[in-house]
Amino acid sequence: MNSYVGPWVDMDWDNFKPSRTQSLRHGLSDHPLMQTEQLVELGKRFRGTRRWFAFNNDARADADFDRVDALFPCNQSFVDSIRSISDAKAWVLLRHIQADPTYRVLVDQVLDSIKPQVEQRDPGMFYRAGWIFAASPHTVTPFHIDRDHVVLLQIRGTKAIYVWDSGDVEVVSDRARDCFHRSHDLTLVQWREEFRKRAHLFQLQPGMGVYIPQASAHMVETSDDASITISFSYGTQATRRSAMLHVVRYLLHRVGLTPPAVGRSRVFDRMAYACGKTMVAMGGPGSRPPACPSLRRRHAYAVSD
């Protein structure tokens, strides 16, 4: 049982760096909205939408995350999988829970609670979203990266989560990040078993969690227990700028140029960012999905794209 008593989310804020992963504690394990029947009801409200995503637990770390639901389909309905996740042999995601008025309140409460600390070093929090994961025992979340910063909280069960440094280009190349931010394409984000030794390993129990920076590769393995996890994602001025720079790099590669890595040249980054903002504002590349909608407009909440 989670015996933690304190803020909803608590990190070592004195040593917080937006680009560095770190462990945290939280107090959401016993929250009413995190109980099974409430999750089932949320699942019912999401029927007929694109806010469901699921696959069976034959998927491994190297599965194609863009197609894993088609390659490893679930045998049960989404609602039944959540209700009996211990035996479902499934991985189930409820996406964009901020679209539900009840769960939007929770998303705001949690992110508002950390906003003052975050903004001291990473200003401009926007594009808020929430995600709920239910996973059967011995289930793997394939190796991937995300568009925004993530605060991941373990609610029930245990899991191991591997997180790689956000700047580790041996694990995820700059070219892979370019393609991801331009087209949400994970083709170049490829798992290799030898990556494990380069990762930060977090063994999570209820009441524990981890902060994952934008585009930090991660992979998850559940234990003998079923797992329920909630994560909260958000963008900032810095994440939006980084994504814009990767979109510009992608376009330069398309015409045969080899731009410097993001962060390598301040002059290039300033020019590329100015170019990217103008291009997006005029409705050019990066202004529409599959690029992130946050590049075109600073939405308060993430858009289901």
> Would you list the domain boundaries of the chain?
9-171+186-237, 238-295
Q: Report the pLDDT averaged over residues 114-118.
A: 97
CA pair distance 206, 26, nearest whole angstrom: 9
260-265 long-range Cβ contacts below 8 angstroms, 24+ apart: 261/169, 261/174, 262/174, 262/177, 263/167
Amino acid at 298: R
Largest CA distance in the chain: 57
Query: Which residues neighbour 186 within 8 Å (Cβ) at sequence distance 6 or greater?
Result: 64, 65, 66, 144, 145, 176, 180
Cβ-contact 272, 257 below 8 angstroms:
no
Q: In the 8-state DSSP scheme, what is residue 275?
A: H
Query: Across all residues in the chain, what is the average pLDDT?
Result: 95
Task: Tell me what pLDDT residue 189 has.
Answer: 98
Chain segment 159-210, per-residue pLDDT in tens? 999 999 999 999 999 999 999 999 999 999 999 999 999 999 999 999 999 9
Question: Is the pLDDT reported for residue 294 higher than 80?
Answer: yes
Question: Is the pLDDT reported for residue 138 higher than 90?
Answer: yes
Q: Report the pLDDT averaged over residues 21-50.
A: 95
Question: Is the pLDDT reported for residue 49 higher than 80?
Answer: yes
List for the chain the helix, strand, coil content (%; round to 5): 35, 25, 45
pTM of the model: 0.96
Amino acid at 112: D
Cβ-contact 48, 101 below 8 angstroms:
no
Question: Is the pLDDT reported for residue 305 higher than 80?
Answer: no
Q: What are phi and psi of 136, to 5 degrees?
A: -70, 165
CA pair distance 66, 186, nearest whole angstrom: 7
CA pair distance 265, 263, nearest whole angstrom: 6
Report the CATH number of the 9-171+186-237 domain: 2.60.120.650
Cβ-contact 273, 295 below 8 angstroms:
no
Q: Which residues of 4-38 are buried (b: 16+ CB within 10 A; e: fewer)?
A: beeebbbbeeeebeebebbebbbbbbebebbeeee
The span from the first CA to the last CA of the chain, in angstroms, equals: 37
